[in-house]
Amino acid sequence: MPKSTEYAAKVADDRGFIAYDAEEDAVWRDLMAQQLPAVRDRMASPYLRGLDLLDLPQDRVPQCPEVSAKLGALTGWRVEPVPALIGFGRFFGMLADRTFPAASFIRKRKHFNYIEEPDIFHEIFGHTPLLTDPAFAAFSQAIGAAGTRCDKADYAWLIRLYWFSIEFGLMREDGQLKALGSGLASSVTELPWAISGQAEQRPFDVIDILRTPYRIDIHQPVYFVIDDLDDLFAAARRDLLADIAQARALGLHAPKYPPKTAA
- Catalytic position from the list 127, 140, 165, 182: 127
**From the candidates 117, 122, 190, 219, which is the catalytic residue?**
122
Known catalytic residue at 24: no
Q: How many CB atoms lie within 10 A of CB 28?
A: 25
* Candidates 117, 123, 167, 190; catalytic one: 167
Q: How far apart are CA 126 and CA 67, in angstroms?
A: 13
Calculate the CA dihedral of residues 220, 4, 114, 217 and round it to 10 degrees: -20
Q: What is the 3-state secondary structure (H, E, C) of the chain?
A: CCCCCCCCCCCCCCCCCCCCCHHHHHHHHHHHHHHHHHHHHHECHHHHHHHHHHCCCCCCCCCHHHHHHHHHHHHCCEEEEECCCCCHHHHHHHHHCCEEEEECCCCCHHHCCCCCCCCHHHHHHHHCCHHHCHHHHHHHHHHHHHHHHCCHHHHHHHHHHHHHHHHCCEEEECCEEEECCHHHHCCCCHHHHHCCCCCEEEECCHHHHHCCCCCCCCCCCEEEEECCHHHHHHHCCCCHHHHHHHHHHHCCCCCCCCCCCCC
d(CA 43, CA 209): 21
The residue annotated as part of the active site, out of 24, 186, 187, 219, is 186
Is residue 219 among the annotated active site residues?
no
> Catalytic residue at 80?
no
Q: Is 122 labeled as catalytic in the residue annotation?
A: yes
Q: Could you list the active site residues?
A: 122, 127, 167, 186
